[in-house]
Chains A and B, each alone.
Chain A
């Protein structure tokens, strides 16, 4: 299907294009236990986490057409869906979201960009793993929501440089193309 078929892009496209239940089952087997683990670590009990995970996975099916591998990896995209569900379920407050970009996902996102982003994302994941243990644990706690925001301030300086530049260049390129 494409060259990056080990990063879940192929499965998400199969869901988008042919409502492929086998592809969805593969995605589910990998991500559902991670989403549930994330929600439980964030304070949901097992039954709420189970219910929310099923809703998150259903949202992935419904929003498959919104996935853009040149802007976010599958793990990043699924994280944002799980994070949103977490806020709705656990915090019970409205959740202001930035407005959508003036373009939707391209039908055929630029392969080089998608591969570049995939590499940057992998490098970021490795860099996080290789952080000193104390800092790495703080990063995890920040995302599981049991870290105060001032403590978050202590862990800035994450190695975001290259991925941030790549995302920004992609935004600029697309903005320019819209003019």
Chain B
């Protein structure tokens, strides 16, 4: 996976901190893991939030373990499988975390046509939020796909332009339901994005209040 040096639109601090804390819905975690795979700026910021987590854990109230815990752990170690894991590194267009969900690179995506050449593929995640891949032919506009709450769109191939800015490979746009935008794919290349939104019927405290926050930005 080649790092994209040209990324201009990054993840927000609260999203990175929530990922570090381990409290993001799975679909948003997928956006973070995929973007960080391409973006050293956000990887460094995420590492620094992990350092905050380490400091918090270091100072937190401790809890005593059972008297045989060390022996039990040594037993786990002796029973465990210690084959080293191969590094996860993608050589394709999709970063590894996304390939894990697709079951391969771009060619493995099971597209469903939405009309006008636009296609989508839903990815299986927990119900708190939904993740889909979108395929927009060069020069075409993204149809209204009815997003509610917060939507994060990460560009994987090509680029799109909307009222806000231009978003190319590695860029992530964070939009909320009050943001009227009509993304249009660049002429040069068909655009593929990962779009994640909180499920419309799943109303948890995170999304509406996060959306309020974004309104102020």
Contact = CB atoms under 8 A, between A and B. Distances in A.
A96 B50 CA distance: 16
Contacts of B49: 160
Nearest to A126: B55
B97 A37 contact: no
A66 to B, nearest CB: 9
Contacts of A14: none
A167 B16 CA distance: 15
Given A62-B77, A99-B97, A34 B33 contact: no
A82 B63 CA distance: 14
A55 B57 contact: no
Interface in A118-139: 121, 124-125, 128-129, 139
A168 B42 CA distance: 9
Nearest to B76: A58
B64 A33 contact: yes
B77 to A, nearest CB: 5
B162 interface: no
Contacts of B74: 21, 24
A65 B210 CA distance: 39
Interface in B88-102: 88-90, 95-97, 100-101
A168 B46 CA distance: 10
State which size class the interface on B falls in.
35 or more
Contact of B33 (A37, A78, A97, A153): A97
State which size class the interface on A falls in.
35 or more
Interface in A18-33: 21, 24-25, 28, 32-33
A75 B57 contact: yes
Contact of A171 (B40, B65, B90): B40
B18 interface: yes
Contact of B206 (A82, A93, A149, A164): A149
Contacts, number: 230
A65 B84 contact: yes
A28 B76 CA distance: 14
Contacts of A153: 12-14, 210, 213
Interface string B20-31: 111111100110
Centre residue among A38, A147, A158 by max chain B CB count within 10 A: A38
B138 to A, nearest CB: 28
B23 A96 contact: no
B63 A46 contact: yes
B188 interface: no
A6 interface: no
B107 interface: no
B96 A149 contact: no
Given A36-B65, A171-B43, A79 B73 contact: no
Interface of B: 1, 3, 12-15, 17-18, 20-26, 29-30, 32-34, 36-37, 40-41, 43-66, 69-70, 72-74, 76-77, 80, 82, 84, 87-90, 95-97, 100-101, 125-126, 205-206, 209-210, 212-213
Interface of A: 21, 24-25, 28, 32-38, 40-41, 46, 49-50, 53-55, 57-58, 61-62, 65, 71-73, 75-80, 82-84, 86-87, 91, 93-100, 102, 104, 121, 124-125, 128-129, 139-140, 142-145, 147-153, 155-156, 158, 160, 163-165, 167-168, 171-172, 175
